[in-house]
């Protein structure tokens, strides 16, 4: 959730092409979640948001109750198994050594999905199907990339993604097929990326565009990458969508001439409607000037 200080963990534009595609890849269950040295700080930031703006970062419809309880149980088993140096469990009590917290996961005093979101750095969304339509029924969302949970809760995937440039034409059918055929036990992941002028993880709306120049783009722009995973819960049949957000200052993310050239090529390959949707259009000219200068021997 917090900004990365030692380079970007992912560079999804490698190859210099912009692709509007699902790009799903299989993932072992042991690698489902990313737990790193920022865990305590990120969970502290989540707690602060949940205290200050609870209605903006957590919501659950009544129909999400079964899936929320199942997801909490899955997490309470997964974390001590795959991250035993940080999480331990004694009976129904799950402890987090990084924060000093412990929770009764069998009788949680919070909504089960609220508690689940407080255990890990990822944001969590639950989607349930009815016929061929999947709807967002609950979420713990502390790092929205310029979308508001209140605007999406209860809506189907087609409406949720309606603002995404090219979604209806290129992604709607593959997404619907994926959700219809996803089997329990299969875990997949993908990356989504953008360039932003504000490093705050919590951005439910876009701030006014900053005035960026080719001279200061490297220190005033940020590479924002979402590592997203999807899997189906076996009992409830709900689909769990996790989002881990990495935000890296551009001059730290672009560590070589080759990387600068690849990002510049991907931006030039990006359709104008995608640039507008990703809020890159207002900063594209100085960003490309900075990348071209950095990519020149």
C-alpha span between 192 and 91 (Å, rounded): 38
pLDDT of residue 1: 55
DSSP-derived letter for residue 156 is: B
pLDDT of residue 284: 96
Q: Quick check: 195 and 225 in contact, CB under 8 A?
A: no
In the structure encoding, which two tokens stand for residue 203, read together? 């951005």
The model's pLDDT over 92-149, given as tens digits with 9 standing for 90+, comes to 999 999 999 999 999 999 999 999 999 999 999 999 998 779 999 999 999 999 999 9
C-alpha span between 220 and 241 (Å, rounded): 30
Global confidence as pTM: 0.94
pLDDT of residue 3: 59
For the chain, list residues with pLDDT below 70: 1-6
pLDDT of residue 17: 86
C-alpha span between 195 and 282 (Å, rounded): 11
C-alpha span between 292 and 296 (Å, rounded): 6
Q: Quick check: 191 and 228 in contact, CB under 8 A?
A: yes
Domain spans of the chain? Answer: 3-294
Diameter of the chain measured on Cα atoms? 61
Parallel, antiparallel or unpaired: strands 239-249 and 3-4: parallel
Q: Quick check: 94 and 105 in contact, CB under 8 A?
A: yes
């Amino acid at each position: 959730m917090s900004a990365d200080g030692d380079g970007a963990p992912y560079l999804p534009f490698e190859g210099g092409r912009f692709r509007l595609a699902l790009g799903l890849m299989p993932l072992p269950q042991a690698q489902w979640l990313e737990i790193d040295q920022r865990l305590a700080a990120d969970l502290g930031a989540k707690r602060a948001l949940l205290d200050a703006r609870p209605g903006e970062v957590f919501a659950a419809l009544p129909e999400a109750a079964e899936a929320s309880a199942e997801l909490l149980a899955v997490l309470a088993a997964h974390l001590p198994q795959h991250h035993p140096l940080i999480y331990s469990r004694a009976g129904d009590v799950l402890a987090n050594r990084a924060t000093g917290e412990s929770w009764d996961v069998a009788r949680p005093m919070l909504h089960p999905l609220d508690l689940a979101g407080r255990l890990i750095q990822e944001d969590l969304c639950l989607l349930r199907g009815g016929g061929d339509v999947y709807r967002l029924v609950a979420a713990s969302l502390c790092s929205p990339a310029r979308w508001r949970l209140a605007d999406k809760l209860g809506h189907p995937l087609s409406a949720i993604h309606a603002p995404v440039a090219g979604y209806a034409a290129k992604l709607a059918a593959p997404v619907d097929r994926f959700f219809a055929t996803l089997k329990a036990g299969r875990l997949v992941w993908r990356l989504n990326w953008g360039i932003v002028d504000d490093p705050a993880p919590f951005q439910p709306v876009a701030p006014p565009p900053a005035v960026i120049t080719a001279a200061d783009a490297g220190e005033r722009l940020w590479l924002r990458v979402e590592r997203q995973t999807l899997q189906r819960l076996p009992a409830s049949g709900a689909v769990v969508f996790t989002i881990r957000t990495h935000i890296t200052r551009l001059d730290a993310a672009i560590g070589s001439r080759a990387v600068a050239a690849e990002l510049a090529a991907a931006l030039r390959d990006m359709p104008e409607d995608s640039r507008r949707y990703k809020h890159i259009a207002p900063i594209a000219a100085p960003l490309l000037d900075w990348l071209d200068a950095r990519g020149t021997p």
